[in-house]
Amino acid sequence: MVHLRPARAEDLPAIARLSHRTLLLGREGSGVFPSPELWGELFVAPYLRRGCCCLVAEAEGQVVGYILGACADLALALDLLPRLPLLLLRLLLGAYGPPLPHLRYLLRLLLYPSPRAQRARYPAHLHIAVDPKAQGQGVGKVLLGAFLECLKARGVPGVQLSTTRANAAARKLYRALGFRLYAKRASPFWAPYWGHPVVHEVWVRDLDNGARLSCPPLKDE
């Protein structure tokens, strides 16, 4: 039995572990970014503190899935930026293990950003993951559906997300819940970890029913 509830600050370790376990295009990512703790501080904690409509799926008291959302990027930046110098100092001092793999990953994030949709039209964005042991049970669909309803209740006009062409199961889920491919770009970001460049994609969904699409749907080939 899986049930949803709002994500809480004390969920940080569990969400960070799950997010870290799936960061390599759905696979375990310790070889890419060794520290789950630092991963959580950088990529999970800002959503728990300043995000919106963040949810977890629980089964037998364990977090088996999550969706982290933000209604605007500024709130996340305001949470992370004051903490960033100390986190980087601790990283350089070895508090999270060897600094080089972490720095390499973070530098590549800056050099090869994913494509983005128009922020005015699609201000919200999300990250979602389901434990591999719980996949295939509809957990992701329930999480994403509840998240979209939360955004609608807040009056958010649209939402975007980033994924890769390699993530076939996620792309099928997004399409089933009304998302469409907005832009795509081959990126060398994953090449050192995956063995070749991967196509990065941004998918969008309009949340106000009367709105016109801001661009024609892209052919998904």
Domain ranges of the chain: 2-153
What is the pLDDT, as a whole number, of residue 27? 83
Q: How confident is the model at residue 217 (pLDDT cuts 50, 70, 90)?
A: very low
| Identity of the residue numbered 89 | L
State yes or no: pLDDT of 1 exceeds 50.
yes
State yes or no: pLDDT of 182 exceeds 70.
yes
Mean pLDDT calculated for residue range 48-60: 96
**Structure token pair of residue 156:** 């958010």
Give the helix/strand (H/E) hosting 38: helix 36-43
**Structure token pair of residue 147:** 């998240």
Mean pLDDT calculated for residue range 127-147: 94
**Structure token pair of residue 9:** 């600050």
How far CA 124 is from CA of 40, 63, 121, 135, 162, in Å, comes to 20, 24, 9, 25, 12
State yes or no: pLDDT of 142 exceeds 80.
yes
State yes or no: pLDDT of 121 exceeds 50.
yes
What does the DSSP assignment read for 99-138? HHHHHHHHHHHHHSPPP---TTT--EEEEEEE-GGGTTSS
Which of the listed CATH numbers 3.40.630.30, 3.30.420.40, 3.40.50.300, 3.40.50.150 matches domain 2-153?
Answer: 3.40.630.30
Tokens 């955004």 belong to 151
Range among 33-47, 184-198, 203-217 with highest mean pLDDT value:
33-47
What is the pLDDT, as a whole number, of residue 213? 38
State yes or no: pLDDT of 128 exceeds 60.
yes
CB count within 10 Å of CB 169 equals: 11
Closest by CA position to 194, among listed 73, 112, 87: 112
Mean pLDDT calculated for residue range 174-194: 95
What is the pLDDT, as a whole number, of residue 221? 39
What is the pTM assigned to this prediction?
A: 0.90
What is the pLDDT, as a whole number, of residue 218? 40
Higher pLDDT: 98 or 208? It is 98
Q: How confident is the model at residue 209 (pLDDT cuts 50, 70, 90)?
A: low
Over the chain, what is the mean pLDDT? 92
Mean pLDDT calculated for residue range 169-174: 93
Mean pLDDT calculated for residue range 25-53: 94
**Under DSSP, is residue 20 helix (H, G, I), strand (E, B) or coil?**
helix
What does the DSSP assignment read for 139-196? HHHHHHHHHHHHHHHTT--EEEEEEETT-HHHHHHHHHTT-EEEEEEEESTTHHHHSS
Mean pLDDT calculated for residue range 85-95: 98
Find all residues with CB under 8 Å of 181, minimum gap 6, and list them: 201, 202, 203, 217, 218, 220
What is the pLDDT, as a whole number, of residue 91? 98
What is the pLDDT, as a whole number, of residue 211? 42
Name 184's bridge partners: 201
State yes or no: pLDDT of 214 exceeds 80.
no
